[in-house]
Amino acid sequence: MKKVLHLSHHYGCLKDHQYVCHNLGLQLESVYSHWDTVIPKGCYRLNSKQANEIWSNNQNYFKDFDYIITSDTAPLSRIVLQNIDKFPGKLIVWICNRFDYNLEWDSSYYQLIKNYSNHEKVKLIPYTEFERIWLNRFGIDTKYETIRPIGLVISDELSKDEQYSIGFDGNYEMDFTGGDVLVSRYHNDNIFQDSKEICESFGLVARHAKYRGSLELEKLSKLYDCFLMFPDAYSKFTTFELMQLGMPVILPTEKLLLNLSRKSNYFFSTGVNEQTVKYCEWYNEYYEKFAVYFEDIDGIGEAVELVKQNREDILKIMGECAHIHKEQTMNQWKEIYD
């Protein structure tokens, strides 16, 4: 059985790939930086010296694996890249959230990625097509196709020693009241505007989403008619989790998103424009079949009503898309690990 080590700052990445490895029959170990074990907590600005120190302190452990995969963020890959000749296995860099995140100042890192982007022991894999565009902007190419999140998880813990505390949300009790609209918990729906309040102005019952991971999101998905999101990135694990869970989604049209993105305090990671909006996964080949898009804020109430009236048809299409995506994604990962 092939052994895989996954290093990440992102709990969602770890859970998504846990599902993949479980179903491919791979022996997986996950390392989450918040545990402050192999990867020091908060080491986003990982310089060359720190990367070599992590390798030196853990090289015997690393060498025990056939594959090491790094995800959000890509700079974790320099731990292995700088020591690739000492590592007997292969390195997979699953690029989630720009390959140069928090290392824009480090020219040696750019050169490192460029030097090894097509190395026989390195597989550079974008998690959305925009990541490839971002690589190309710096003269870096990869022969590997984009592999998006599968959006599925298993209930097994990532580690026997795992404490179910993944940060960011604080302590809270799950609210199982339910309602019409579950509103995104992110900046654009809380700080840029109060999307919950906007929903309530249409007489809808709405609540901001509070959950930790896909398993808690699944519980909430059964209590609401739909999920409202004002996009803030080209891709999110939530995008694919909602599809797999069968939770209808209402969203601004691409045109409305572009208009909003020009306003002060609207957040969209790396920026979005007329040429790049097509790479946003909230408008991908699946979502264009089942998502309900509104052309202006005043259309939110009507969008929710459309979901209610067409719920059965929407769920059928979502199920079909989810199945296709699962099969395609599993086949992609199978090729990577063969």
**Mean per-residue pLDDT, 213-227:** 90
Whether the Cβ atoms of residue 112 and residue 99 lie closer than 8 Å to each other = no
**Mean per-residue pLDDT, 88-113:** 94
Query: Residue 204 and residue 253: Cα distance in Å, rounded?
Result: 21
Q: Is the pLDDT of residue 160 over 80?
A: no
Label residues 284-295 b or e (16+ Cβ within 10 Å = b).
Answer: bebbeebbbbbe
pLDDT value at residue 302: 98
Query: Which domains can be identified in the chain, with CATH numbers?
Result: 3-165 (3.40.50), 179-326 (3.40.50)
3-state SS, residue 44: coil
Q: Is the pLDDT of residue 169 over 80?
A: no
Beta-sheet strand order (sheet of 249-252): 206-208, 179-183, 224-228, 249-252, 292-294
The count of C-alpha atoms lying within 13 angstroms of the C-alpha of 132, restricted to the half-sphere facing its C-beta, is 15
Mean pLDDT of the chain: 93
pLDDT value at residue 147: 98
Nearest in space to 7 (alpha carbons), one of 60, 56, 55? 55
Could you say which DSSP state residue 265 is in?
T
Q: Which DSSP string corresponds to 142-184?
A: -SSPP--------SS-S-TT--S--SSS-S-------EEEEEP
Nearest in space to 73 (alpha carbons), one of 325, 269, 215, 336? 269
pLDDT one-digit tens code per residue, 226-235: 999 999 999 9
3-state SS, residue 45: coil
pLDDT value at residue 167: 42
**Mean per-residue pLDDT, 52-68:** 97
**Mean per-residue pLDDT, 135-143:** 96
pLDDT one-digit tens code per residue, 72-92: 889 999 999 999 999 999 999
**Mean per-residue pLDDT, 48-71:** 96
Residue 162 vs residue 165, higher pLDDT? 162
The verdict on pTM exceeding 0.85 is: yes
Q: Is the pLDDT of residue 175 over 80?
A: no
Give the dihedral of Cα atoms 179, 180, 186, 191; nearest 10 deg: -100
pLDDT one-digit tens code per residue, 264-308: 999 999 999 999 999 999 999 999 999 999 999 999 999 999 999
